[in-house]
Chains A and B, each alone.
Chain A
Amino acid sequence: MSGLELINFYVIPGLISGSIYALGAIGITLIFGILRYAHFAHGDMATLGAYVALGLVGSLALSPWVALPIAMAITALVAVVLDRVFYRHLETRPKILTVMASLGVALMLRSVVQVVWGVDPQVYSTGIVRAESYGGLMLRSRELITFATATGLVLFLMAFLRYTRWGKAMRAMSDNPELARLCGVNNEAVTRLTWVIAGALAAAAGFFLGINTELNTMMGWSALLAMFAAAILGGVGRVEGAVVGGLVIGLVEELSVLVLPSQYKMATAFVILILILLVRPQGIFKGKVL
């Protein structure tokens, strides 16, 4: 196999699914870092976002690319409502109860999608998109857009966290919640903001998953393990960690096909998760260990 083939068949798909994992892992790492629990409904939140976009494409005849920001906004709103209704009342109880509640929410979200859109796989638009050659690199336009949009979203979020008042408040809350409260940071506002970001990015992850392959009701749940592995690999609470972690998991998954039967692609995320917990539980970027 030539180097170019390796890139076209393994590295590019790896980076694409890696950026999708990264978008999901950012939300997971923010929730883990700021609200301090593992959110198991995150994958199904991505599924919901993808299907909301599908609904917009189908009913309003929108272009998928126009539907994407709307679906992100709707999913962000859903995330805030889910927190209000199902998670917030557990705030003062052991965090693991919220983890459990999120497992229930995962099931509920999925069944809503199954009832509304059915269980058959669907696509945003039919027809085969040919890959174009860029000096031997074979890329489809949707892959370029996926990569560009994911990069844009990540840079925007990082700038927000670095330079804005509320971005700093989120970091402060993740760093030292008691002190943040002593500084007058409103816990509720930060929680809401966290869910807006996590929900919107989850929807984007689901959408890109759907547009690069197909939509099915298990897609988010199947990606959940990879997203968690990415968040922990990068370091819990670290956005840049989630991005690097996502890309690493995506690449390793694709490259694993060279040595393992392709059915076991998913297992590589698990292996990476266990290895990182064994050798460096704080992750690459020295995140939190809860």
Chain B
Amino acid sequence: MNPVLVMHQVRGGYGDADILHGVSLTVNPKEIVVIVGPNGAGKSTAMKAVFGLVKIRDGAILFEGEEITGWKPDAIVRRGISYVPQVKNVFAEMTVHENLEMGAFLAKSVKAEAFERIYTLFPDLKAKRNALAGSLSGGQRQMVAMGRALMLNPRLLLLDEPTAGLSPKYMEQIFQICRDVRDTGVAILLVEQHAKQALAFCDRGYVLATGSNRHEGAGQELLNDPEIAQMFLGG
């Protein structure tokens, strides 16, 4: 099967300084791939590079075989990738339903079917559809953010630390939602601070350090690697 996303030797950063020094990774269809690594490893930057938010000076990014290096975010959204930022990822002063509508902004007209799909995935949200997103709990907000990102039927979902600041209970719930989303046919690439839990739940993982690849493999395989456990996971 052809990979959904290929990042090949990507080098770049925000200003003149490079944060990524040749990062490569692959996401296959129906796969949850997680990026872990110590603080400042360039995890979030690698993800933002996919979404056109980083200046890329070298390397290439391919989505479904087409090169998207240097594209603008809205073109990338249209192409089939959605991105959920780590913070401020909902419209706090708009209702849950309006948040979902904004997710489909590029579609001009929104089909009722799309809302149904999201509300089936996140039953909690259906009851809260007219509540302001800012009034929801952290976990529910994360659902709104993911629901918003899924409105346009993307083939790849980018999640930047979706469990940051959430209780273990919610973390498990978010991971379960990720699996459900994957089972609907969406590939997921996510950055995680909680490396142990994330590696345990993902299909494959990449370990990044100082802007380069260090290790890659199946989640459990990485967890069992004593070197990784010592380097990044605090024993």
Q: Which residues of A contact B (CB under 8 A)?
A: 165, 168-169, 171-172, 174-176, 178-186
Q: Are B98 and A168 in contact (CB under 8 A)?
A: yes
A180 proximity list for chain B (CB < 8 A):
91, 102
Q: Are A183 and B93 in contact (CB under 8 A)?
A: no
Is the C-beta of B169 less than 8 angstroms from some C-beta in chain A? no
B206 proximity list for chain A (CB < 8 A):
none
A10 to chain B, nearest CB (A): 35
Task: Pull 12 A–B residue pairs with CB atoms less than 8 Å apart, ordered by A.
Answer: A168-B102, A171-B94, A172-B91, A172-B94, A176-B91, A178-B88, A179-B88, A179-B102, A180-B102, A183-B103, A184-B105, A185-B105
A168-B98, A168-B101, A184-B77 given as contacts; is B91 within 8 A of A179 (CB)?
yes
CA distance A165 to B74 in the complex (A): 17
Interface residues of B in 96-141 (CB under 8 A from A): 98, 101-103, 105-106, 108
CA distance A181 to B101 in the complex (A): 14
Q: Are A178 and B85 in contact (CB under 8 A)?
A: yes
A175 proximity list for chain B (CB < 8 A):
91-94
Interface residues of B in 18-63 (CB under 8 A from A): 51
CA distance A205 to B108 in the complex (A): 34
Q: Are A182 and B88 in contact (CB under 8 A)?
A: no
Q: Are A183 and B98 in contact (CB under 8 A)?
A: no
Q: Are B73 and A172 in contact (CB under 8 A)?
A: no
Q: Are B88 and A183 in contact (CB under 8 A)?
A: no
B92 proximity list for chain A (CB < 8 A):
175-176
Q: Are A184 and B94 in contact (CB under 8 A)?
A: no
CA distance A186 to B88 in the complex (A): 19
* Nearest A residue (CB) for B83: A182
